[in-house]
Amino acid sequence: MEESSTKSVDETKPHFFIVRVTVGREAQAMERLDSRLPQASGIYSVIKPYSFKGYLIVEADSVDSVEKIIYGIRYLRGVLRREISFEEVIKLIKKKKEETVVNIGDIVRVVAGPFKGESATVKNVNKEKDEVGVMFLDSAVPITVGIKISDIEVVKAGEQNENKG
């Protein structure tokens, strides 16, 4: 691969941005994005994290570079303005071996991804998909979001679970 003379704000540190994608269309969106990479400047890699459906991670010089390349691509819905760290990217793409026991009604904290740091209540658990449906506590609109079990930690067991044991 040729060396390019692209200018970066900080060449020693990679910049990672999250791109929203229509859920279930990540592969098609990534394929279309890959076809534009040869003409793009300031874009270095595209990653499809296993743990979050509906998102891609793009390594780029700036958020403006990402916005330029995704413009007009079907299934790509926009860029989250917040940059994520390399450590967060590793957490998203690294498969975890440990088993987290989660039950309906538990209060959990998201430890990776775009919702990192948010607290939520578990509404459903899908063991086959290794996923939980959560409703965020500070959300203005009550909506259930699917998140991988490996990307949450239980803060407090739900009342119905405490009464069982």
**pLDDT of 34:** 86
**pLDDT of 165:** 47
Pull the structure tokens for residue 140: 């203005």
16-93: CATH class:
alpha beta
**pLDDT of 94:** 73
CATH of domain 107-157: 2.30.30.30
Question: What b/e readout covers 62-99, taking b as 16+ CB neighbours within 10 angstroms?
Answer: ebebbeebbeebebbeebeeeebeeebbebbeeeeeee
The single residue listed with the structure tokens 């998201």 is 110
Residue 113 region, left (φ>0) first, then alpha (ψ -120 to 50), else beta?
left
Angstrom CA distances, 80 to 8, 32, 38, 115, 121, stand at 20, 19, 23, 11, 24
- Residue ranges matching CATH 3.30.70.940 in the chain: 16-93
pTM > 0.95: no
Task: Please identify every stretch of the chain with a pLDDT value under 70, giving residue numbers as ranges.
Answer: 1-12, 51, 95-99, 159-165
Q: Supply the Cα-derived Rg of the chain in whole angstroms.
A: 18
**pLDDT of 44:** 87
- Residue ranges matching CATH 2.30.30.30 in the chain: 107-157
**pLDDT of 85:** 87
Give the distance from CA 43 to its chain's centroid.
18
User: Can you list the alpha helix ranges (DSSP code H) found in the chain?
Assistant: 26-36, 63-70, 86-93, 159-164
